[in-house]
Structure 1
């Protein structure tokens, strides 16, 4: 069961990272065509681990180094090479293989064993799926600053982020995989359906037609359309503000909405309740609760309804 592979010798970095206060700005650098590569996916995985593990980081902004592209799409040469070598299986059989591969990756030494097995292609897909899922459940806020055309895997990466800002101009965002004879394969159909509803997800994926920044904003595919020269600053400012909120709470909110929100209501309520109970006991939460109660006592009324107290909390990202 071949397919695309994420193996290969790491060479030049494709994710260039610099820190601005509490924000990591990651520039996706894949000249000359701005293609997503297997190396880039693995570097994004390392970026998620850094963002989650570093207490000085509250948010990540992704943007491209190409003058008019965020990411064109995943490198089709890798897909084509894997597909030519791959035996033909029904989707139902491949689903079983992906479950086996996913379980093996979680076992000690599983990755090394899979790399030498016929399941190496499925391992690559599972790893890419895991990286994108790690972004959407990360304890940092992720903002995609789409500095130009964005398609295929680039669109799917943006969909895994919490916010999408797009440069105004002659740019387009799309899921054009249908023209290559396959559907989006890195979460496009699933995240579009959850974000925009099944009807709109079906249209975008079946039609494959490019969507302008204004159209994307109107349908809710992107959150803001910004002048190109102001895009990165706007994304960093937004990320920095949200990234001041307690990291445990950020992760809990994202998991409750994205994972709990897909469950039947009763199970979703338990999912949310578990995240709530787990975060109320963190040091950051206890300190914010103490500060809130002290401010309430000082005011002699509910602190959360006091405009000055609320404005300060919004600026700091917490009651303090």
Structure 2
């Protein structure tokens, strides 16, 4: 548990868990890092009191992706084929983690106060929402095509980015392979909320706590499925899904307490 806390610490606030990544120097995405995030998700999803997660960093960067020094050392000591095999196994697990964040029952919000690059940007893109500090020098980027001649797909980045930006913008972003600042990221659809740097975590946490209080896990999960699953279906099927989720949330969520509260105030 101490190793887990060292990599990703957690605290709770009214239905929300705040996960702080702290794997110096850059929160590199390696097996231990993936294990820590998966363990945190396992614990959160089995706790019915948790409806949302805020993912942030305790370092000056959010995450800079895979460990480049490990890749260089592995090639030097064991050869390229060994690196490719190890890297592929790690990225398979990273892709599964990102998919859990997107398809699981918990609202996930990234609070980004430092660089999010390569796999770090993929991790942020897999979250439902991205709150980013409006800070000079902060970069959001997918440099894989420029550095290695490959698309950003370790965690499924090409798919998440295309859903955030649209296909053409995402393709240009990946091929251009130059980082953007938070304001340009907002123009592209990569950033949902720009925040004052000193208030980033407070703003993000307040949003998540308010959403959890209003809707609970059932309501938040329904809203997420309606949006993310619904957009992949034909319209008629998406409307049926929307209807089913709506009624399920009315039966199992905060609807009846909300009606009672409304009646007391205005009835």
Distance change (3 Å), C-alpha of 1:154 and 1:230: same
Is 1:85 aligned to residue 81 of structure 2?
A: yes
**1:208 corresponding residue in structure 2:** 177
Is 1:269 aligned to residue 239 of structure 2?
A: yes
TM-score, normalised to structure 2's length? 0.84
SS at match of 2:23: coil
Shift of 1:72: 1.2
**2:65 corresponding residue in structure 1:** 73
Which of 176, 184, 201 is 2:152 aligned to?
184
- Count residues in correspondence: 257
Could you tell me which runs of 5 or more consecutive residues in structure 2 were left unpaired when the two chains were aligned.
none
Which of 127, 130, 133 is 1:164 aligned to?
130
Task: Assess if the C-alpha contact under 8 Å between 1:140 and 1:243 holds in 2.
Answer: no
Distance change (3 Å), C-alpha of 1:238 and 1:261: same
Which of 221, 225, 229 is 1:251 aligned to?
221
Which of 173, 189, 192 is 1:220 aligned to?
189
RMSD, matched Cα: 2.9
Task: Assess if the C-alpha contact under 8 Å between 1:30 and 1:36 holds in 2.
Answer: no
Task: Assess if the C-alpha contact under 8 Å between 2:126 and 2:160 holds in 1.
Answer: yes
**1:105 corresponding residue in structure 2:** none
- Superposition pairs of residues 118-197 of structure 1, within 5 angstroms: 124-167=90-133, 168-179=135-146, 180-185=148-153, 186-197=155-166
Pair member with larger Rg: 1
Could you tell me which runs of 5 or more consecutive residues in structure 1 were left unpaired when the two chains were aligned.
1-9, 89-117, 300-320
TM-score, normalised to structure 1's length? 0.71
**2:208 corresponding residue in structure 1:** 239
Distance change (3 Å), C-alpha of 1:77 and 1:139: same
Q: Please identify, of 169-178 and 57-66, the stretch whose mean Cα deviation from structure 2 is larger.
A: 57-66
Is 1:50 aligned to residue 19 of structure 2?
A: no
